[in-house]
Amino acid sequence: MRPLAKVTGDFADAGDQQAGGREFLPYYTSLGGPKSYLELAGAVHSFPTTVNPTVSRAIVAFFKRFVSGDNRFSPFVCGYAGRAVSDFRSTTC
């Protein structure tokens, strides 16, 4: 199975028809393989256009571990909590 990392915000933009990333959860749940779901607190659809250290850490660690196969990044794939994160799920923790 191919690895999957999904990063989303928990708030939809004004006029956006989607309620954050929650519409993705049934699809996420149905997939096998290593996967990670990170939902950012207070983030809207345009969050990828801003610098975010939580996203940077999550994506680099996940890709290095599961795309590059570098086991040294295993400790950094999990443990996302706090005010910046509204939801975190993973099959690898």
Query: Tens digit of pLDDT for each residue in 32-74?
Result: 999 999 988 888 777 888 888 999 999 999 999 999 999 999 9
DSSP-assigned letter for residue 49: G
Section 12-36 average pLDDT: 74
Q: What's the mean per-residue pLDDT of the chain? A: 85
Q: How far apart are CA 71 and CA 50, in angstroms?
A: 29
Q: How far apart are CA 35 and CA 3, in angstroms?
A: 6
Asked if residue 11 has pLDDT above 70, the reply is yes
Query: What is the pLDDT, as a whole number, of residue 19?
Result: 56
Closest CA to 1 of 35, 27, 26: 35
Q: How far apart are CA 71 and CA 81, in angstroms?
A: 22
Instruction: Report pTM.
Output: 0.82
Q: In what order do the strands lie in the sheet with 35-40?
A: 4-9, 35-40, 85-90
